[in-house]
Chains A and B, each alone.
Chain A
Amino acid sequence: MLVGESIGLKEGKATRVAFGETLVELGHEDPALVVVDGDLNNSTRTDLFKKAHPDRFFNVGIAESNLVGVAGGLASCGKKPWIASFAAFLLCNAFDQVRMSIAFPQMNVKLVGSHGGISIGEDGPSQMGIEDFALASALPGFTVVVPADEPSTRALVRQLHAHNGPGYMRTGRPNVPIVYANDAPVRLGKAHELRNGDDVTLVACGLMVAAALEAAALLEREGLSARVLDVHTLKPLDEETIERAARETGRVVVAEEHLCYGGLGSIVAAALARRWPVPMRFVNLKDTYAESGKPRDVLVKYGLTAEDIVAAAHQLIPKPILSPA
């Protein structure tokens, strides 16, 4: 497993699989749900929907611009399209179409960018979605969701479907640890406190939530108590919960599988700058592209591990607390 073994987390399915399976269920419940694909359904896992609801599934080929426009047209007639491709292609290739056909007219279309982050590993930078938080969050009216594990993905797909308006969800390729029990108590738009703590707050989304839990365990061994917030909804941001954590812990580390500009770190920093400024550190891909490699090796080389989060926390915590009793 990529992360979380040291604290006894169990491996769950990839978030893309949890998404695909939930979409099938929703398809049974809501006849207005349609899916549009760009020749990647067996990767994004909308193939499951295709099998269950073939009459409501459209594969438009390797043509992301058209894919997005078609979804906008379907939505203008009352359909509720979910469209999926790699995060890199859906948002980077078709960003203007997302802007014009979905965001500007506020169409009820849900975008799913799979293969988010660098944890896809071997396929390398051309396939890694690392700009998606910034791009999706830039769009007015978009709800932006990055679930951490299998159970919370299931819950958030359902909640996002029930939400009337445009939305983006990032899913990942690898199997990821389960950080929530079944029936994850996550609520769209609400940060979820997975662990209480007083010395520092670790804010994370996606795969980095498990890494943050691992980091909290490492910090505990040093006598430091870290609060862990799963901020699965980047937009709209649960500013209240984050402000409370900043007030109560005085320090914040933000961890994400994304470039350093425009992602969760930027969003949280902007909110805290306004509401309750505290010293912060950021664990992310920095301002660079990654490279091919085994997922774990890529995460280590590019600084996205529990140890990196611990190191960031250390930068914030005054020495006296650190010195052994």
Chain B
Amino acid sequence: MADLQSIARRIRCDIVEMTTRAGSGHPSSSLSEVEVLVGLYYGGILRHDPARPDWPDRDRFVLSKGHGVPALYAVLADRGYFPREWLTCLRMIDCPLEGHPNMRRVPGLEASTGSLGQGLSIGLGIALAARLDGRDYHTWVMLGDGECDEGQVWEAAMAAHHYRVDQLTVIVDRNGFQQTGATADVMNLDPLPAKWQAFGWQVREINGHDIDEVRSALEWARQEGTSRTLSGSGPSVIISHTHKGYPVSFVMADFSYHGKALTEEEARRAREELGCS
């Protein structure tokens, strides 16, 4: 999987570059998502076609933690959903790439998010539409771990199980931090896997920076989704243990990098650590 790893590095270099140029944004939240996005979009998991972003049978990926969208922008640009030049105008006036996802301006975005807690409900609606239409696409929703503080997440989790929506997978980007500190200090989520289990979800925990583990978990969710439909055993969640800012040492070491772009000097050091060309 060396190939996917080098793609992940490229995406990370884009994240640092675009947010530093913008002078604002959430690079650390974006960096922790990268392997999962690469696994989905390059690992043969997501059924998609950049030339047909409105293909009715495509899989849907909803980024509920909308502030982490620079990573998704970098992936979508690289996959050809829109011109790469767009990455250079992130967060600037008249640029389709806004600070948080606006699905009406960017091909490949399935939802407009940014107010945390809402993406799983949208994903559930998308999955219910698949059932009504007899389509077999899979719906993927990425949540932040701090985002799981929101009550709506659990309203949706309960409803997805109630409706036995099998073709629905949540990925929790379990980086252990939210805006103002560690999740353990701000609002304890533990035991997070047991909570999802108790809500009727199939749970798997992985190292979210190990691309092989990521791929096999995504494959599990996708394939089991189909077989689960027969057994009616409900939706699945992948708790992806990650590091906020990974693998940039000084960002990982300091949660207060949340919501801050790196300075030019910091970005230079980050690019060096990442091995960007």
Which of B121, B129, B133, B159: most chain A Cβ within 10 A? B121
Also in contact, A70 and B121, with CB within 8 A (given A34-B132, A65-B151, A65-B155) = yes
Among residues of B, the one whose C-beta sits closest to the C-beta of A76 is B126
B122 at the interface (CB under 8 A from A): yes
Chain A 84-122, CB-CB to B under 8 Å as 1, else 0, gives 000000000000110111001110000000000000000
B172 at the interface (CB under 8 A from A): no
- Picked from B104, B115, B159, the residue with its CB within 8 Å of the CB of A61 is B159
Which residues on the A side are within 8 Å of B151 (C-beta)?
65
Also in contact, A66 and B155, with CB within 8 A (given A56-B132, A74-B129, A101-B121) = yes
Q: Are B159 and A77 in contact (CB under 8 A)?
A: no
| Residues of B118-176 contacting chain A, CB below 8 A | 118-130, 132-133, 151-152, 155-156, 158-159, 162-163
Which residues on the B side are within 8 Å of A75 (C-beta)?
125
A223 at the interface (CB under 8 A from B): no
Query: In the docked arrangement, what's the CA distance between A100 and B122, Å?
Result: 10
Q: Are B122 and A101 in contact (CB under 8 A)?
A: yes
B113 at the interface (CB under 8 A from A): yes
Which residues on the A side are within 8 Å of B35 (C-beta)?
none
B103 at the interface (CB under 8 A from A): yes
Also in contact, A66 and B124, with CB within 8 A (given A61-B159, A77-B130, A105-B112) = yes
- Picked from A34, A61, A65, A74, the residue with its CB within 8 Å of the CB of B152 is A65
Among residues of A, the one whose C-beta sits closest to the C-beta of B110 is A76
Number of A-B contacts (CB under 8 A): 106
Which residues on the B side are within 8 Å of A74 (C-beta)?
125-126, 128-129
Which residues on the A side are within 8 Å of B152 (C-beta)?
63, 65-66, 69, 97
Also in contact, A69 and B126, with CB within 8 A (given A58-B163, A100-B112, A105-B112) = no
Q: Are B118 and A97 in contact (CB under 8 A)?
A: yes
Kindly state the interface size class of chain B when it binds its partner.
Answer: 20 to 34
Query: In the docked arrangement, what's the CA distance between A68 and B124, Å?
Result: 11
A279 at the interface (CB under 8 A from B): no
Chain B min CB distance to A56 (Å)? 7
Which of A58, A100, A104: most chain B Cβ within 10 A? A100
Q: Are B130 and A65 in contact (CB under 8 A)?
A: no
A73 at the interface (CB under 8 A from B): yes
A71 at the interface (CB under 8 A from B): yes
Which residues on the B side are within 8 Å of A106 (C-beta)?
104
Also in contact, A76 and B118, with CB within 8 A (given A69-B124, A97-B152) = no
Q: Are A73 and B126 in contact (CB under 8 A)?
A: yes
Chain A 44-79, CB-CB to B under 8 Å as 1, else 0, gives 000000000001101011010111111111111111
Q: Are A58 and B128 in contact (CB under 8 A)?
A: yes
Chain A min CB distance to B54 (Å)? 10
Chain B min CB distance to A240 (Å)? 30
| Residues of B72-123 contacting chain A, CB below 8 A | 102-104, 110-115, 117-123
Which residues on the B side are within 8 Å of A60 (C-beta)?
155, 159
Which of A60, A73, A101: most chain B Cβ within 10 A? A73
Among residues of B, the one whose C-beta sits closest to the C-beta of A62 is B155
Among residues of B, the one whose C-beta sits closest to the C-beta of A96 is B115
Query: In the docked arrangement, what's the CA distance between A106 and B132, Å?
Result: 22
Among residues of A, the one whose C-beta sits closest to the C-beta of B64 is A69
Query: In the docked arrangement, what's the CA distance between A77 and B56, Å?
Result: 8
Among residues of B, the one whose C-beta sits closest to the C-beta of A74 is B125
Which residues on the A side are within 8 Å of B119 (C-beta)?
69
Among residues of A, the one whose C-beta sits closest to the C-beta of B129 is A77
Query: In the docked arrangement, what's the CA distance between A45 and B220, Å?
Result: 42
Which of A55, A74, A99: most chain B Cβ within 10 A? A74
Q: Are B159 and A66 in contact (CB under 8 A)?
A: yes
Among residues of B, the one whose C-beta sits closest to the C-beta of A63 is B155
Among residues of B, the one whose C-beta sits closest to the C-beta of A106 is B104
Which residues on the B side are within 8 Å of A58 (C-beta)?
128, 163
Also in contact, A76 and B104, with CB within 8 A (given A69-B152, A70-B159, A100-B113) = no
Chain A min CB distance to B115 (Å)? 5
Q: Are B112 and A77 in contact (CB under 8 A)?
A: no
Which residues on the B side are within 8 Å of A104 (C-beta)?
102, 112
Q: Are A73 and B121 in contact (CB under 8 A)?
A: yes
Among residues of A, the one whose C-beta sits closest to the C-beta of B159 is A60
Query: In the docked arrangement, what's the CA distance between A68 and B113, Å?
Result: 14
Which residues on the B side are within 8 Å of A73 (C-beta)?
111, 121-129
Q: Are B121 and A69 in contact (CB under 8 A)?
A: yes
Query: In the docked arrangement, what's the CA distance between A101 and B156, Å?
Result: 14
Q: Are A105 and B121 in contact (CB under 8 A)?
A: no
Chain B min CB distance to A190 (Å)? 29
Query: In the docked arrangement, what's the CA distance between A74 and B123, Å?
Result: 9
15 CB-based A-B contacts, threshold 8 Å:
A58-B128, A63-B152, A65-B118, A68-B121, A69-B121, A69-B124, A71-B125, A72-B125, A73-B111, A77-B133, A100-B112, A100-B113, A101-B111, A104-B112, A105-B111
Interface residues, chain B, with chain A CB atoms under 8 Å away: 56, 102-104, 110-115, 117-130, 132-133, 151-152, 155-156, 158-159, 162-163
Interface residues, chain A, with chain B CB atoms under 8 Å away: 34, 55-56, 58, 60-61, 63, 65-79, 96-97, 99-101, 104-106
Given contacts A63-B159, A66-B156, A73-B121, 17 further A-B contacts (CB under 8 A): A58-B163, A63-B152, A65-B118, A67-B121, A69-B120, A69-B121, A69-B125, A73-B124, A73-B126, A73-B128, A74-B126, A74-B128, A77-B129, A77-B133, A97-B121, A100-B113, A105-B112
Kindly list the 5 A-B residue pairs having the minimum CB-CB distance in the complex, ordered from nearest.
A73-B125, A69-B121, A77-B129, A66-B155, A63-B155
